[in-house]
Amino acid sequence: MPYVDNFQHADDIVIHLSTIVPTLTDSILRVKYIGFIAVAAVTVYEMAIKSIFIDFANKKHKVLGHFTEAYFERINGRIKIVNIREEYITRFGERYLQRFNVKLEQCANDYLRRHKRDIRSSYSNLINWRNDFAHEGTIRTTATYPEAVQAYVDGKEVIRCLAETMTR
């Protein structure tokens, strides 16, 4: 399955909630929807990351594919950029780590120039918002619902860079 198929779950939630949230007058409820978007986003990011590494490994070798699938059963939300670099990509070799770093830097610079937003910050913010919401039931941010949705869209670019890195 292509990694982008994983995004459909969160995309559907965003489409649905985007019709509801603007009508809400309760600010506390709006913040909870930001948490809900963050949880959905990080979930699909995790699924996409697993898919990218498993597909890559399967293309390399059947045994490597089985090992990688078992290994990624245990990532449990550890998908910060530092985790992707140090715990996952490095296991496949320095060449892929260097490729990811270059791709991410180029993409981040291009995206910042075009959209005035840093994809790395957006991605990291969503993970932090998700952790706050999932573990403490709070969102420590002044972000609005549209900003949370935009962060989700921006963060997909980090995943795209990973997918472009992990090719034969």
- Which of these, 64, 88, 69, lies nearest to 158 by C-alpha position? 88
Copy the structure tokens of residue 120: 């790395």
User: Which structure tokens are listed for 138?
Assistant: 């709070």
Q: What is the pLDDT along the chain (168 residues), one digit of tens a residue?
A: 699 999 999 999 999 999 999 999 998 898 899 999 999 999 999 999 999 999 999 999 999 999 999 999 888 789 999 999 999 999 999 999 999 999 999 999 999 999 999 999 999 999 999 999 988 877 777 889 999 999 999 999 999 999 999 997
Q: Given this model, what pLDDT does residue 117 score?
A: 96
Q: Are 132 and 138 in contact (CB under 8 A)?
A: yes
Tokens of 56: 């890559």
Q: What is the DSSP letter of 129?
A: H
Is the separation of the CB atoms in 34 and 139 below 8 Å? yes
| Number of C-beta neighbours around residue 96 at 10 A | 19
**Is the pTM here over 0.85, yes or no?**
yes
